[in-house]
Structure 1
Amino acid sequence: MPSLAVTMKGQITLRRDLLAHLGVKPGERIEFDKLPGGELRVKAARPTGTIDNFIGRHAGKVNKPLTIEEMNEITASGWSGEQ
């Protein structure tokens, strides 16, 4: 099991392979759950979207009717928090 050093400020740095395993990219957030026995569960924080963000993001940008595939792509990117 890999171990990490804690800095004087109480910070740790996760190695690139661990971040890749979590699917975390620069600027994204990580969540921690406290478990019994001094353990932590680490997981990537997934942004939650709202229908207002989805509608507002694409308002006035479409000049032609969309295909189902295009609508699915827009929906997936809007709800996943991609900009």
Structure 2
Amino acid sequence: MLTATVSSNGQVTLPTEILIALGLKPGDRIVFIKMENGNYAVVPRTHSVKKLNGMLRRPAQKPVSLEEMDQAIAQGAAGNDRS
């Protein structure tokens, strides 16, 4: 687990491993996205919106169970998809 400390003026120095994983360089901007579970995702602002696809739940889309996912995968693999 990686940690960082917030300074008295609210600044955080990201661990080198995080900087490398996100491809961040000095001067790059990051975005904090609040997830449905209350946690936040940190995303480089340089990424396109398309790369965020799938991170957030669509409010109109009902959640599916693991069993439903497994069934959809099996149907797709067998060529029995509904499309």
Higher helix fraction (1 or 2): 1
Relative contact order (alpha carbons < 8 A, sep ≥ 6): 1 or 2 greater? 1
- In the superposition, the TM-score normalised over structure 1's length comes to 0.49
